Every structure is written in C-alpha cells, then in structure tokens.
C-alpha cells in the first residue's frame, strides 16, 4: 500500500470510529488529518485534503477546539489560521474521556440523582422507580469516578498497566 492510499484509509477509518466517541465523521476526519500532519494545517489545506466545504471545515474545527483536541497555531508572518492536534495518543484519550464525561456522563448522573430523589408516595411504582434510579445513579457515579481517576493519572505504572490490559 502506498502512502496516499494508506493516508486515505486511515482518515476514513478514523472518521468512522469518531462516532463511537461522540463526534461526527467530518470532525473525526479533520482530527485524523491533523494527527498525521507534519506541520499545522490551514483551513484551506484541510478543505483541499478532505474535499469538504469551508463551512463544514470551520464548524468542525471550532468543535474540535471546544473539545480541547485541536489548537490554533500562530505562524509568524502568516495571516491565515493554522491548526494542530495532540500527537500523544494517551493524552488524546484522556482529553476525550474527560470531555465525554462532562458532556454525557455528568448530565446523566444529575438526572438520575434528581429522579431518584422524588418524594416517596408509598406506592410500589414509586418505590421501584426510586430504588432502580438510585442503583443506576450509584453505578454511574462510581464509573465516572473511576474514569476520572484513570484519566487524571500521569503516565505512571498503574495507568500503563491498565492501558496494556485493554489492548
């Protein structure tokens, strides 16, 4: 397989995987392109490489910046904006996990806490709702706490060992 074919295959595969971590395909493809780029890329370079519109590029780059995955780079003497992404795979995984927790898990925990705290009117239906949502709330909080501890660790022996277990 030649470079260009491998690059396209990687970008398309990463784009498909992007939906698993909560982003759209174009957003993941932009991140993949920046991930393998040897230098920061401009909006025009991203558009040309991926054959997507300026609006699509701008919107998705802005979202990647909000996620903390992509940063703007200033290049002296250039008026264009340039973008780069985190190159350390483990740091990238930590950033994604933290953001998914903030966007997805935390709102669920809040809702489960609210629902499980309703007034018990003595009926069996209410008791069952409280019991089951409390159990889910505790599970979600425990999972989120574990995830946060894992992603907040520096690259120590524990993190490396846990990551190796999941390979």
CATH value at residue 50:
1.10.10.10
Domain identity same for 115 and 149:
yes
What is the reported pLDDT for 16?
84
Domain identity same for 78 and 104:
no
Domain identity same for 70 and 98:
no
Q: Tell me the three state secondary structure of residue 65.
A: helix
Are the beta carbons of 35 and 17 closer than 8 angstroms? no
Q: Read off the pLDDT of each residue in 56-63 and give the average, rounded to a whole number.
A: 96
What are 93-118's pLDDT values in tens digits? 788 888 888 888 899 999 999 999 99
Domain identity same for 124 and 143:
yes
Domain identity same for 93 and 149:
yes
Give the residue from 4, 17, 44 showing the smallest Cα distance to 31: 17
Residue 133 domain boundaries: 89-165
Alpha-carbon distance 123 to 121, whole Å?
Answer: 6
Question: How far from the centroid of its chain's Cα atoms is residue 33's Cα?
Answer: 16
Last residue of a domain, one of 85, 110, 138: 85
Domain identity same for 74 and 99:
no
What is the reported pLDDT for 62?
96
The residues near 71 (Cβ < 8 Å, ≥ 6 apart) are: 65, 83, 84, 85
Domain identity same for 20 and 69:
yes
- Give the helix ranges, DSSP H, for 37-100: 43-50, 54-67, 89-100
Residue tagged 């074919």 (tokens)? 5
Number of domains in the chain: 2
Radius of gyration in angstroms for the set of CA atoms belonging to the chain, rounded to a whole number: 21
Last residue of a domain, one of 30, 58, 85: 85
Tokens of 61: 């780059």
What are 125-157's pLDDT values in tens digits? 999 999 999 999 999 999 888 877 777 765 555
Per-residue DSSP letter, 22: T
Domain identity same for 106 and 71:
no
Domain identity same for 107 and 161:
yes
Last residue of a domain, one of 31, 59, 85: 85
Dihedral-angle region of residue 50 (phi above 0 means left; psi in -120 to 50 means alpha; beta otherwise): alpha
Q: Is the predicted pLDDT of residue 53 greater than 60, yes or no?
A: yes
Q: What is the pTM of this model?
A: 0.73
Domain identity same for 12 and 50:
yes
Domain identity same for 54 and 113:
no
Most confident segment among 70-74, 75-79, 88-92: 70-74
Domain identity same for 35 and 7:
yes
């Amino acid at each position: 397989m030649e470079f260009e074919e491998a690059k396209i295959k990687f970008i398309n595969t990463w784009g498909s995987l992007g939906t698993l971590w909560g982003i759209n395909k174009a957003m993941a493809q932009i991140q993949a392109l920046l991930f393998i780029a040897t230098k920061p890329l401009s909006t025009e370079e991203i558009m040309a490489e991926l054959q997507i519109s300026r609006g699509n590029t701008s919107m998705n780059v802005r979202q990647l910046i909000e996620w903390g995955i992509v940063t703007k780079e200033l290049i002296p003497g250039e008026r264009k904006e340039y973008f780069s992404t985190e190159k350390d795979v483990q740091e990238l995984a930590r950033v994604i996990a933290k953001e998914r927790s903030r966007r997805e898990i935390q709102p669920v925990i809040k809702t489960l806490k609210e629902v499980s705290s309703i007034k018990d009117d003595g009926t069996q239906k209410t008791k069952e709702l409280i019991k089951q949502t409390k159990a889910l709330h505790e599970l979600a909080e425990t999972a989120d706490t574990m995830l946060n501890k894992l992603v907040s660790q520096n690259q120590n022996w524990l993190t490396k060992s846990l990551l190796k277990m999941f390979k």
